[in-house]
Amino acid sequence: MPSAIFSTPLRAAPSSTAHALLGIENPLLDICVDADNSDVLAKYKLEANNAILAGPEHAPLYAEISAAPFKPLYVPGGAAQNTIRGAQWLLPKGSTTYIGCVGKDSYADIMTATAREQGVDVHYMVDPSVPTGTCAVLVSSGGKKRSLVANLSAANNYKPTHHRQPAIWSLVEAAQVIYIGGFFLTVSQESIMEIAAHALSTNKWLTFNLSAPFLSQFFQAGMEEASPYWDLLFGNESEAQAFAKAHGWTELVEPKVDVAAIADKIAALPKKNEARPRLVVITQGADSTVVSYKGERKVYPVKKVDPVKVIDTNGAGDAFAAGFLAKLVLGKSIDECVEAGHYVASEVIQRSGVVFPSEAPAI
């Protein structure tokens, strides 16, 4: 039976949550449209339920779906920005900050205004030479299918000179918990290491997300450099399996994947801040969430949602991290953090896109 460590607060409750949670990664403006009564999928040779990176042939798509007869819904996206927006939904006003790189265009203006309306204090680096990163979200089959076409563009161009500016660095210093999305490994390793070193020197929580299996496969060197700084690591079962394979932990993936053992092994990897044991949280979709901490593990059943109500599970992992981080900021226990993660994920999967209810959360 798990010990009291899972019901003990992870940190002291803060006297203030102002700018307490900082996120950094790749901002994309999601442009969501109903594609059911349009030939847009066929025109651009897109599958109804798929996710791809944009090629040159997709360049006109974004302007096309931003104009009539389409009625676009603009959502500030990118995995970590989704998580920060979700955490802000649970937290007092002014609790979150987010940085990344955008272009100098109307999409950046829309993303800035929308994120700030939702309470996130965004401070984007602006690269006027390229467009803001966008993701076309073409919804069909009455909301059941989504074709995603991502154009990373400016999101790829973040430079550490941005957060070195005194005005931005003051926000880094104000943060109590820092969240770096794994996709940032493809953009600025130098920035990751600078922020990680700051977290270590100030005893702040540095939290990270494995984000996608390909990152463990193709960006292993960057991940290896950053991993000793991880105080909290999120991932799902596919990402945990890829991480284990990249590290040669064959016995944990063949003939059967042992997610709990992988979580334990990641938790036990070398760590810079020895005063705080690493906490590893692995989600498994509708299956139980596995947590490894201080040499112990606990398995949490997921909050069940009526399958009829499930519309879109794409943002479930980002939403889980949002709930968990919000409660971590507030100084809650692992039990409470996981409960909040499951709650936010259960809300998001009942909507198309990573969109949070307008009403106040029930936790």
CATH assignment of the domain containing 261: 3.40.1190.20
- The length of the chain in residues reads 363
User: Exposure string (b/e) for 162-172, b if CB count within 10 Å is 16 or more?
Assistant: bbeeeebeebb
Rounded to the nearest 5°, which phi and psi values hold at 344? -65, -40
Do the domain assignments include residue 50? no
| Span 113-147, pLDDT tens digits | 999 999 999 999 999 999 999 999 999 988 778 89
Res 359: pLDDT: 82
Domain membership of residue 196 (yes or no) is yes
Domain extent, residue 108, equals: 17-28+77-132+153-348
**pLDDT by residue (tens digit) across 153-212?**
999 999 999 999 999 999 999 999 999 999 999 999 999 999 999 999 999 999 999 999
pLDDT score of 2: 61
Q: CA 102 to CA 287: how far, in whole Å?
A: 36
DSSP string for 97-138: EEE-EE-SSHHHHHHHHHHHHTTEEE--EE-TTSPPPEEEEE
Q: Does residue 40 sit within a domain?
A: no
The model's pTM? 0.95
Helix, strand, coil percentages for the chain (3-state, nearest 5): 40, 20, 35
The pLDDT value recorded for residue 363 is 78
What CA–CA distance (Å, rounded) separates 196 from 227? 10
Q: Is residue 2 part of a domain?
A: no
pLDDT at 43: 96
Q: What are phi and psi of 161, to 5 degrees?
A: -60, -25
**CA pair distance 273, 189, nearest whole angstrom:** 20
262, part of any domain? yes
- pLDDT for position 362: 74
* Cβ-proximal residues to 180 (8 Å cutoff; 6+ apart), any chain: 23, 24, 25, 80, 192, 195, 196, 206, 207, 208, 209, 226
* pLDDT at residue 61, rounded to an integer: 98
Residue stretches of the chain with pLDDT short of 70: 1-2
What are phi and psi for residue 356, nearest 5 degrees?
-105, 145
318 belongs to the catalytic site:
yes
User: What confidence score (pLDDT) does residue 1 get?
Assistant: 62
Residue 143 lies in a domain: no
Compute how many other C-beta atoms are within 10 angstroms of the C-beta atom of residue 132. Answer: 27
The domain tally of the chain equals: 1
**Residue 42 falls inside a structural domain:** no
Annotated catalytic residue: which of 109, 231, 318, 335? 318
The HSE-up count of residue 243 (CA atoms within 13 Å, CB side) is: 29
Question: Residue 326, class by beta-carbon neighbours within 10 Å (0-12 exposed, 13-18 middle, 19+ buried)?
Answer: buried
Residue 141 covered by a domain: no
